[in-house]
Structure 1
């Protein structure tokens, strides 16, 4: 079932569903923008266009084009130079949410964190009490 929500674009009250996050009027505008982008990309000379070239050629907002790509409406396999930015560093990627170098960096950081946790566990479990002896100089 849907829930009552305000449209993020025009602030109109509408029923938000799993498939629609904007009101009917804004959805129709998005559909027109999708048709514009798709017609632009269908032309042979535009199939190798970069993202900023598609924005310039169609006048459609970059965020909306990225939404079409992320929702799978524009298949990147058909357009070899089209990509979207990594969510961490901004490098252009074609699949996933972050690039390979950011993924390996995150995995390395997680590995280092695991090592630190293992060392701290070893120190806690070795709970050896050290006894210190002192000698008095007085007799």
Structure 2
């Protein structure tokens, strides 16, 4: 769906869509920077460059290179030392949004919450089924 928004770089009004997240002028500039990064990485001896080395050599900000990676424009399978940070801890990863340790931690937390919910449910059911009798005082 297309939305009217301000460009995050120059604040000019533009129509945002799935492919274009900045205005046309900034998009053209990003395309030129992408070509610079792509040409650098295309050379055989640069394929093992890290993110910081690529950024330094091309004079393109790391954030923009990460944007290209997230958009799928730079395929990590061709570049063994490139990666992007885990959204939780910042460790460099090559796929998904979370690293393995954050995934397992999150999974364990979810399981723990599910067990607690089951335990609460069982306690509530037990308390509902318990019957209490009161002794009637004898009339004199």
How many Å separate the matches in 2 of 1:46 and 1:132?
A: 84
How many Å separate the matches in 1 of 2:82 and 2:19?
A: 25
Per-residue deviation at 1:18?
2.2
> The residue matched to 2:29 in structure 1 has which SS?
helix
- Normalised by the length of structure 1, the TM-score is 0.90
Per-residue deviation at 1:17?
1.7
Unaligned runs of 5+ in 2: 136-140
Partner in structure 1 of residue 14 of structure 2: 14
How many Å separate the matches in 1 of 2:124 and 2:10?
A: 57
The alignment status of 1:48 with 2:48, answered yes or no, reads yes
> The residue matched to 1:4 in structure 2 has which SS?
strand
How many Å separate the matches in 2 of 1:20 and 1:61?
A: 19
| Aligned positions of 1:1-139 closer than 5 A | 2-127=2-127, 128-129=130-131
Per-residue deviation at 1:43?
1.3
How many Å separate the matches in 2 of 1:3 and 1:94?
A: 31
How many Å separate the matches in 2 of 1:82 and 1:7?
A: 28
- Normalised by the length of structure 2, the TM-score is 0.89
How many Å separate the matches in 1 of 2:106 and 2:132?
A: 39
Count of paired positions = 133
How many Å separate the matches in 1 of 2:120 and 2:43?
A: 61
Per-residue deviation at 1:2?
2.3
Unaligned runs of 5+ in 1: 134-139
Per-residue deviation at 1:130?
5.3
> The residue matched to 2:14 in structure 1 has which SS?
strand
